[in-house]
Amino acid sequence: MQRHLISAADLTRDDAVLILDTAEEMARVADRPIKKLPTLRGRTVVNLFFEDSTRTRISFEAAEKRLSADVINFTAKGSSVSKGESLKDTAQTLEAMGVDAVVIRHGASGAPYRLANSGWIDAAVINAGDGTHQHPTQALLDAFTMRRRLVGRDTGLGKDLSGRRITIVGDVLHSRVARSNVDLLHTLGAEVTLVAPPTLVPVGVETWPCEVSYDLDSTLPKSDAVMMLRVQRERMNAAFFPTEREYSRRYGLDGERMAKMPEHAIVMHPGPMVRGMEITAEVADSDRCTVVEQVANGVSIRMAVLYLLLGGNEPAVPNARTNEEK
Amino acid sequence: MSKILIRGAKVLGGEPQDVLIDGEVIAEVGTGLSADGAQVVEATGKVLLPGLVDLHTHLREPGREDSETVLTGTRAAASGGYTAVFAMANTFPVADTAGVVEQVYRLGQEHGYCDVQPIGAVTVGLEGKKLAELGAMHESAAGVTVFSDDGKCVDDAVIMRRALEYVKAFGGVVAQHAQEPRLTEGAQMNEGVVSAELGLGGWPAVAEESIIARDVLLAEHVGSRVHICHLSTAGSVEIVRWAKSRGIAVTAEVTPHHLLLTDELVRTYNPVYKVNPPLRTERDVHALRTALADGTIDIVATDHAPHPHEDKDCEWAAAAMGMVGLETALSVVQETMVDTGLLDWAGVADRMSVKPAQIGQATGHGRPVSAGEPANLTLVDTEYRGQVDPAGFASRSRNTPYEGRRLPGRVTHTWLRGKATLVDGKLT
Ligand SMILES: [Zn+2]
């Protein structure tokens, strides 16, 4: 494993599988009466959020606390953080406090990369979403969810997603989730198809390890998982598509469309969902929709990532591995 | 002592000759010239060029003296072999009045390292709404003939048309920063494979090309001269080539960095590579080199854009755009054009001195190296190889993309009207 987690593209297949397997161990902790491990006792983790995201911050915070880390939340939104140098200033303040890891969310693509590679700090850097670039722990929790559902919770251990067909639908252009997922799912052996109106597909996508289609209906029957991306209504005003209704008609997932998917196929969404726009309530509430599991899995994945980046050689979960076959 | 004998220099890269400077002019060019009463500069093996002329320099004074001043900028220019620079108008206050351009012009004269020809803004405050007092700037002591809103595009077609027409009265030229503003909202780098991966806002080639296409058509329609700043794409080259074949009075410039660097470097997220227009692809770089060689692109201009460290030592999106270039331009041109066989030294003299002086009407610069001409000269050690060390820059800013990079060639001497501004690589 590398010292930082900046991009899903930085993970090898073995790294990724190790994280998924470790997350399975972490998930078992959630089933215990005391959901806490001593693993990161005495280590300090900062959640450095320059951009609002209560969901992601709470998920990381829960993961950190379950690993017994000391947690500092730093929310820069609303303060005078507009000039770039403040990222460096903030980083150096954290460095002076002896922080071991920084979980950073930033509106600018590349900010976590700069933080990790500019010599400003020594701490491990975990990218919790940067601009329209990457959100690697989201991709990992999505892959974790797919592996559990499509391969199996126990039978999936040590395995990747070879041969599974994943369709990602919506605003690919502005989506760090799409970028991260394309990279990671490809590494894990899955076949990825992006579906979006041409205005929401980036110029240059032809070099990505995936297919691109503008037609959702023809893609659905060939999908083991369909991931719906959030579409912001503002995009309509910027002429990315004509009307919300037209978008829904062509790229929204409703019950009728869901019926075209294979029996076993699942519906995913990184949340928060805009019901009625990209997904209907009927689909969102069906048992094929994994949104709630994704949230729970997010904590396990983030525990695994924190443990693997920061943990020593101690087993993450005492006695857990000896009970397993591996 | 007013006589200087430059002995054995390859004038414009040709056979070794002696050049005798007497006072402000070249007195004699020949072989075996007498050194009697003259200070001798041994120049065997070196190339002698007419002093370089930069049509696109940001000196930052007035307003951003923390980045650069007329003094530090002209010292950087002399270090790079320049004897004249055209100072862009995007200062604070903007150079849109006779008062501001005269101030910049006078500072250049006072410091004496390099002639400074101010460029006047096309529109008031670079806002693109109302023509600045172009005539008053022309009639001022600064004698402005080049007008540009550089940093911003004159995107309103009517304003651009009027500016092109208006400057005809005194033979001026409008230098366009070709950037369609709507197509480049939120733009951070070249739109393409790399931007798609990095998730950085794309600056599409067509945003440059569409403005160039429009402007050459406007220039044709009103019978005016238009100059395209820092052209950066293969498509732009095609449009300029077409316009020239049609007889349209268009000239174009390319920066050294667009001749050498590509958008692949943005993968480092290091803002030292953030520049406007952005670094493009390998294919564009080759098209630009070819176009400079065949004359489709007329000149090399640095777009020297100094910024203080803190404006670059941050995340990409927050960083200022631009890189310094005066002190490395000739080396980059040697590497990309001369050492590749695309251009000889006479060609370099043409693209970096003769033509820019003509476009900007800097009489006295870009002249032949022959008797009776002003002694504006640059001596280059073309055999030199070494790493770029920004610590030695005369520019107040250090935002060079070439730190630690090996580049060929080094300017050893610069003379401005017979007065040495650079001797053995050291400023006087
Ligand atoms: Zn410009």
Cβ of residue A87 closer than 8 Å to a chain B Cβ: yes
Residue B194 to residue A208, Cβ atoms within 8 A: no
Phi then psi for residue A97, to 5 deg, are -85, 0
The span from the CA of A142 to the CA of B137, in Å, is: 63
> Which CATH number characterizes residue B416's domain?
2.30.40.10
CATH superfamily of A4-134+295-311: Aspartate/ornithine carbamoyltransferase (3.40.50.1370)
Cβ of residue A179 closer than 8 Å to a chain B Cβ: yes
Best residue in B267, B269, B316, B321 for a mutation probing chain A (most A CBs within 10 Å): B269
Q: Write out chain A residues lying below 8 Å of B188, CB-based.
A: 109
Find the CB nearest A203 among B196, B269, B310. B196
Find the CB nearest B314 among A87, A179, A208. A87
C-alpha distances out from residue A146 to A8, A91, A140, A268, B367, Å: 16, 35, 10, 9, 72
Work out the minimum CA distance from B314 to partner chain A, whole angstroms: 5
pLDDT in tens, B327-343: 999 999 999 999 999 99
> Which CATH number characterizes residue B326's domain?
3.20.20.140
Work out the minimum CA distance from B428 to partner chain A, whole angstroms: 36
Q: Write out chain B residues lying below 8 Å of A106, CB-based.
A: 315
Work out the minimum CA distance from B179 to partner chain A, whole angstroms: 18
Residue B60 identity: R
Nearest CA in chain B to A201: B196
- Looking at the structure, tell me whether residues B77 and B145 fall in a common domain: yes
pLDDT in tens, B37-80: 999 999 999 999 999 999 999 999 999 999 999 999 999 999 99
Strands (E), A138-240: 165-169, 191-195, 211-213, 225-228
Query: If DSSP codes are grouped into helix, strand and coil, which group holds residue B170?
Result: helix
The span from the CA of A218 to the CA of A55, in Å, is: 33
- Looking at the structure, tell me whether residues B291 and B385 fall in a common domain: no
The span from the CA of B413 to the CA of B103, in Å, is: 28
What does the pLDDT read at residue A86? 78
Nearby residues of B370 by Cβ (< 8 Å), 6 or more positions away: B26, B29
Cβ of residue A110 closer than 8 Å to a chain B Cβ: yes
- Looking at the structure, tell me whether residues B76 and B13 fall in a common domain: no
Find the CB nearest B199 among A85, A109, A207. A109
- Looking at the structure, tell me whether residues B143 and B237 fall in a common domain: yes
Q: Which fold has domain A136-290?
A: Rossmann fold (3.40.50)
Residue B152 Cα, ligand 1 centroid: separation in angstroms? 7
- Looking at the structure, tell me whether residues B24 and B110 fall in a common domain: no
Residue B229 Cα, ligand 1 centroid: separation in angstroms? 6
- Give the distance from CA B162 to its chain's centroid: 26
Counts for chain B of helices (H) and strands (E), in that order: 12, 19
Is B138 annotated as a binding-site member? no
- Looking at the structure, tell me whether residues B71 and B43 fall in a common domain: no
Is A257 annotated as a binding-site member? no
Which domain range does residue B97 map to?
50-360
Give the residues of chain B that fall short of pLDDT 50.
Answer: none
**What residues are neighbours of ligand 1 (ion), with CB under 5 Å?**
B 150, 177
Residue B302 Cα, ligand 1 centroid: separation in angstroms? 10
Find the CB nearest B202 among A108, A131, A203. A203
Best residue in A132, A180, A181 for a mutation probing chain B (most B CBs within 10 Å): A132
C-alpha distances out from residue A297 to A63, B114, B173, B189, B376, Å: 10, 66, 64, 36, 72
pLDDT tens, per residue, chain A with 326 residues: 788 999 999 999 999 999 999 999 999 988 888 889 999 999 999 999 998 899 999 999 999 999 999 999 988 765 444 555 578 888 888 889 999 999 999 999 999 999 999 888 999 999 999 999 999 999 999 999 999 999 999 999 999 999 999 999 999 999 999 999 999 999 999 999 999 999 999 999 999 999 999 999 999 999 999 999 999 888 888 899 999 999 999 999 999 999 999 999 999 998 888 888 899 999 999 999 999 999 999 999 999 999 999 975 555 565 544 444 33
Is A135 annotated as a binding-site member? yes
Residue A108 to residue B315, Cβ atoms within 8 A: yes
- Looking at the structure, tell me whether residues B82 and B33 fall in a common domain: no
Work out the minimum CA distance from B307 to partner chain A, whole angstroms: 14
Query: Tokens 């007419």 map to which residue?
Result: B50
- Looking at the structure, tell me whether residues B62 and B39 fall in a common domain: no
Residue A53 Cα, ligand 1 centroid: separation in angstroms? 37
Is A83 annotated as a binding-site member? yes
Nearest CA in chain A to B269: A110
Write down the ipTM of this complex. Answer: 0.87
Lookup: tokens for B76: 């950087």
Cβ of residue A30 closer than 8 Å to a chain B Cβ: no
- Looking at the structure, tell me whether residues B106 and B119 fall in a common domain: yes
Is B56 annotated as a binding-site member? yes
Residue A109 to residue B192, Cβ atoms within 8 A: no
- Looking at the structure, tell me whether residues B38 and B57 fall in a common domain: no
B52 touches B86 (CB < 8 A): no
Q: Write out chain A residues lying below 8 Å of B195, CB-based.
A: 202-204
Size of interface A-B (CB pairs under 8 A): 84
Residue B94 Cα, ligand 1 centroid: separation in angstroms? 15
Residue B200 to residue A110, Cβ atoms within 8 A: yes
Q: How many domains does chain B have?
A: 2
- Looking at the structure, tell me whether residues B69 and B196 fall in a common domain: yes
The residues of chain A that CATH labels 3.40.50.1370 are 4-134+295-311, 136-290
Is B230 annotated as a binding-site member? yes
- Looking at the structure, tell me whether residues B175 and B305 fall in a common domain: yes
Residue B318 to residue A131, Cβ atoms within 8 A: no
The verdict on residue B273 lying in a domain is: yes
The verdict on residue B121 lying in a domain is: yes
| Residues of B identified as active-site | 303
The verdict on residue B365 lying in a domain is: no
Alpha helices in chain A (DSSP H): 13-29, 54-66, 85-96, 111-117, 136-146, 176-187, 216-219, 234-237, 244-251, 255-258, 281-284, 291-310, 320-323
